[in-house]
Structure formats: C-alpha cells, structure tokens
Amino acid sequence: MCNAHRSHYSLSALILALAVAFIVRGQQEADLTFDASVKKPAYTTTHPKVLIDEAHFNFHTAGGRYKPFAELLTNDGYTVAPNKERFSAGSLDRFAVLVIANAAGGPAGGPDRSKPAFTNAECEAVR
C-alpha cells in the first residue's frame, strides 16, 4: 500500500473516532457550575420581563438546559418566567422579551416533530 493510501486511511480512522467520541459525549447539558453572577446589574430599579418559551416541545427550558442563561438574566435585573401555554396577545403583552429556542411541532423522535411548532394565531400574536 502506498503512503498516500495509508495517510487517507489514517485520516479516515481519526475522523471516525472523533465522530464517535462527539456522539457519545455530545449530549447537551446545562453547566450548573457556571457563575451567573453580575457585578453591576443593568436593571436595578426597573426589571424587564423575559418570557422563555416551554410550550412547544422546546429543547431548552428555563429550568433545564437554559437554567444558567435564566440565572444570568435574573442576576442582571430581569424578571424571568417560563411560558407553558400557547402564545396569545394576552399571554405576551406583559413581557418585553420573548425567548424561543428549538421549538418543535411534537416530542423528540415523534412523528409530529417536523410539523410547524406554532399555529397561525400564535404567529400573529408574536407579530
């Protein structure tokens, strides 16, 4: 076997090993050791309200993978709340910021996963 083929096989083996390692270790978890403290909070007298969507099979939630993010916002003076219901003008009007991460039409691995996460009425409410 020539050196070019050996190099190609070695590179392929390395890529495969890295891919397997990434898949095994690639599970996303919140870094619960993250220091979310804020020395000089941006909001000390007013507290803008942030709504983190959890009503659309979201992968990231305020109490889960986005917990360090939610703690950072809180420590910076925001008021953070999880959203557990479909969007409507009434459910959104009290909030200055809406956070949507990885919304889906159904649970992971389910047949509805690729369907739209939001109804037309929800899209209108967000607009």
Angstrom distance (rounded) from CA 85 to CA 52: 11
Look up tokens 């919304």; give the residue: 103
CA–CA dist 27, 22 (Å, integer): 9
CB count within 10 Å of CB 127 equals 6
Look at residue 6 in the predicted model and tell me its pLDDT: 46
DSSP for residue 66: T
- Within a 10 A sphere around the Cβ of 81, how many other Cβ atoms? 15
pLDDT at position 2 over 60: no
Span 70-79, pLDDT tens digits: 999 999 999 9
Task: Work out the average pLDDT over 46-63.
Answer: 95
Q: What is the mean pLDDT of the chain?
A: 85
Mean per-residue pLDDT, 30-52: 93
Q: Is the pTM of this model over 0.85?
A: no
Tokens 């070019």 locate to: 4
Best mean pLDDT range from 26-35, 50-59, 102-111: 50-59
Is pLDDT of 24 > 50?
Answer: no
Angle, CA 51 vertex, CA 49 and CA 85 arms, to 5°: 135
Report the pLDDT value the prediction gives residue 120, as an integer from 0 to 100: 97
Query: Which 3 state secondary structure label does DSSP give 98?
Result: strand
